[in-house]
Structure 1
């Protein structure tokens, strides 16, 4: 289950690895996603700066979802009012994830633009826990920091009040992250924590996207090696379905859906995460609502004219 020497290939990916220091009150996690990230990044023509931020948030979501105590989904979301409207990652207790971004596609976005300049003012950073059984919980804080890692560390400081250091990186080929955290139940050990955090801060972006956990942890902590647990695989999976789209249409109501049907001849919904297309023709919509929706819309329009 554990090892103290680099034994895996430097290119292994799509997994999350936990570790703990037996002689220090510090735990940590490493994640590196390659095929998963390339699949997600290939769903849209993301500008480079937005793609990089989305990859960093994906790595963050994969790290944080390991803390899910019950079956469910963790949603990490950054919202802004600038050219970048939203970054969102969903990661599940089953080891699956999906991610997407929304932005003003008509606006210019420089390759090296600062994340905060893209988000604009009055943005928020939110984490939502959706257990499979039970009520959801959400924590929301204002945006603080110039990067996803800084925003997340500020969130952790505000919400959990735990000493945490996080480093995130993303390239066209892979994304990765490293999290180290002082154990919440431990007595204060500032020297031990500062030692681990200082070493963790030396991680470079290239190392995060290129090295597996064993090689990276050996490079960082070979003098005080942690106990490294078996890697946990991470896969892409989208939870969209025709049934969920049907429920959404029912929530919109017959008047709005019928108006679209009347104007376009069918209702088409694209999944923002995987680009799956769901098409409902007039027969489908009438069966869904149990009535001739388009005829009702036409009748109402004739009545008010």
Structure 2
């Protein structure tokens, strides 16, 4: 596809609420962020697609949670795509951008190039991990891989683990800007019922693989409101999500003007990886000098690579581990 100029909403997440439906949502645009995430690696197209979808989900989900530090999404499977992992770091201060990074582990020889990217995962699980930082116990929720996409997995997770009906509509891919080279463009929207103190769940489950679905959780006016909002979202077009000519605020008015949409301050997002030499040293601090010696290369150094951003660290073995001499 060929697109026009860059818009001011690139690399942002816009929170909104549909007052009439009692539904909250997010509109996300990841453009330069996705380029930065994927340029760190030489992924085959099927893996790029999975990473792009996961990064977009992460941006949408991360902005819904009151984070002090980090939200992580992970998909682990027994297929050639063994792991897709993403991290969303909360802004360090009000007005600053959130940060996203992503990584994939895969068996290149087993990949079916040109096939369905989701089918490369096989059987496994989808997990959301929330780490609120020092002094707080991390939270982890897990559901089986289900449906036919990472979107389906995320929707099943929220229905099953949180009993929050949730809907995602995503679009992403490579595009050519006028007068520029090929870049990634991605856009998506998330709808979610407002959290209730005591969510209702009917007996049985109608979702994929016996998991709960939205219709199993809602009844009465809530079910009607949720259905109406989803029917309106069904009319969204791919170019409205990723194209340069429709602003997210305009899109919300087009889709949901009868639902009284209310928008909040947008959250800028950027690529970011917090890895550092200090963090590497801390991770090695549990090892003895004997262990460090086994990690030392023929060149006489201990090396470490960040799987997310590709940073390469070379350390003097005498300065790492709990028996280190403390000299740099």
Query: CA–CA distance in 1 between the matches of 2:67 and 2:54?
Result: 22
Q: Is residue 132 of structure 2 the alignment partner of residue 131 of structure 1?
A: yes
Contact 1:171/1:209, CA 8 A, preserved across alignment:
no
Contact 2:71/2:129, CA 8 A, preserved across alignment:
yes
- Corresponding residue for residue 198 of structure 1: 231
- Corresponding residue for residue 51 of structure 1: 48
Aligned match for 1:287, one of 319, 322, 326? 319
| TM-score, structure 1 normalization | 0.84
Q: Is residue 110 of structure 2 the alignment partner of residue 107 of structure 1?
A: yes
Secondary structure, counterpart of 1:71 in structure 2: coil
Question: What displacement does 1:10 show?
Answer: 5.1
- Corresponding residue for residue 242 of structure 2: 209
Query: CA–CA distance in 2 between the matches of 1:239 and 1:31?
Result: 23
Distance change (3 Å), C-alpha of 1:120 and 1:252: farther
Query: CA–CA distance in 1 between the matches of 2:291 and 2:318?
Result: 13
Q: Is residue 168 of structure 2 the alignment partner of residue 166 of structure 1?
A: yes
Deviation string 1:227-259 (CA, Å, 9 cap, x unpaired) is 122211111110101111112223354334312
Query: CA–CA distance in 1 between the matches of 2:302 and 2:12?
Result: 38
What do you get for the CA RMSD once the two structures are aligned?
2.2
Query: CA–CA distance in 1 between the matches of 2:160 and 2:320?
Result: 45
Contact 1:49/1:111, CA 8 A, preserved across alignment:
yes
Q: Describe how 1:1-305 pairs up with structure 2 within 5 A.
A: 12-94=9-91, 95-115=98-118, 117-121=119-123, 123-133=124-134, 134-172=136-174, 173-185=184-196, 188-210=221-243, 211-261=246-296, 263-280=298-315, 284-289=316-321, 290=323
Question: What displacement does 1:204 show?
Answer: 3.8
Secondary structure, counterpart of 2:71 in structure 1: strand
Contact 2:21/2:229, CA 8 A, preserved across alignment:
no
Query: CA–CA distance in 1 between the matches of 2:324 and 2:272?
Result: 35
Query: CA–CA distance in 2 between the matches of 1:253 and 1:81?
Result: 34
Question: What displacement does 1:262 show?
Answer: 5.2
Question: What displacement does 1:76 show?
Answer: 0.6
Distance change (3 Å), C-alpha of 1:267 and 1:27: same
* Residue segments in structure 2 that go unaligned for 5+ positions in a row: 1-5, 92-97, 175-183, 198-219
- Higher percent of residues as helix: 1
Secondary structure, counterpart of 1:234 in structure 2: strand
Distance change (3 Å), C-alpha of 1:14 and 1:49: same
- Corresponding residue for residue 298 of structure 1: none
Question: What displacement does 1:42 show?
Answer: 0.7
* Residue segments in structure 1 that go unaligned for 5+ positions in a row: 1-8, 293-305
